[in-house]
Amino acid sequence: MDEKSRLLILVTNDDGISAKGLMHLVDCVKDKGDVVVVAPDHPQSGMSSAITVGAPLHITAHPDQHGARVFSVSGTPVDCVKLAMHSILSRHPDLILSGINHGSNSGTAITYSGTMGAVMEGCMNGIQSIGFSLLHHSLKADFSMSTRIVVDIIDKTLEHPLPFWTALNVNIPALVVPKGARVCRAARGHWSEEYERYTDPQGNPFYWLTGRFVNDEPQATDTDEYWLGEKFASVVPVTPDQTLDSAIPALSNIYDIN
């Protein structure tokens, strides 16, 4: 197979270039094409779709790992995708994979997720894009039981390309071989008890984010939170277009101003 007919696969994440989940994802796809890793040079959890607008960015080339070319970028996950396409890759990739995240991006966590920020950036550029997250925060999390589901979902995407402006947010239960996978919607919820308050040695208060996700739909059986509880991987189709088209007619009656 010549170079042009081989798949070009970009792998990124938000936990940074040293995260264990990143290389597990590379291992899942290294036989499927040419894999290039472009990941943040330090952890970028919670960075959502942030971009670096007022500062320079640096690209560092690293030795190949697990058969992949490896680069780090001094910015956010979205910066990694943008710079990869602008300055590292010879052409747009066929597939962008982000993760495997150390920790959940189910429910409304997607809003803050740097893992999914990278996915949304790929999707907006017309590239098949999937984010993977394991429900285990530890740096030493065991990703081995996620391999089959990750590979299956990637294979299905290669066989049946995702619709226009549609990407996937895949969450995977931890410490278990998933029973399977279910396509579902993200559970709506909120965060509670969000900050710990401290006092510094000079007597000034400071605050540190904490808190936990509260599922506001605990009875629903069609959400990612439900299926993860059942030990299935959740596959949520997502779109970068945040317009609520269904609200346009009713709101036009209120807000159209002449």
Residues 200-219 that bind a copy of itself (CB under 8 A): 204-209
- Name the DSSP class of 161: P
- List 35, 39, 153, 228, residue binding a copy of itself (CB under 8 A): 153
Q: Which is nearer to a copy of itself, 93 or 240 (CB)?
A: 240
| Total Cβ atoms within 10 A of residue 91 | 8
Question: Following CA atoms 80, 46, 233, 24 in sequence, which dihedral angle do they give, to the nearest 10 degrees?
Answer: 50
Over the range 201-220, which residues count as b (16 or more CB within 10 Å of their CB) and which as e? eeeeeeeeeeeebebebeee
What CA–CA distance (Å, rounded) separates 233 from 227? 7
- List 26, 35, 38, 48, residue binding a copy of itself (CB under 8 A): 48
State how far the alpha carbon of 226 is from the alpha carbons of 35, 115, 143, 237, in Å.
34, 21, 21, 16
Q: State the minimum distance, in angstroms, from the CB of residue 139 to a copy of itself.
A: 13
16 belongs to the binding site for a copy of itself (CB under 8 A): no
- List 197, 201, 202, 203, residue binding a copy of itself (CB under 8 A): 197
Range 117-146, binding a copy of itself (CB under 8 A):
117, 120-121, 124-125
Q: State the minimum distance, in angstroms, from the CB of residue 183 to a copy of itself.
A: 4
Range 90-119, binding a copy of itself (CB under 8 A):
108, 110-112, 117
Range 239-258, binding a copy of itself (CB under 8 A):
239-245, 247-248, 250-252, 254-258
194 belongs to the binding site for a copy of itself (CB under 8 A): yes
Give the three-state DSSP class for 227: helix
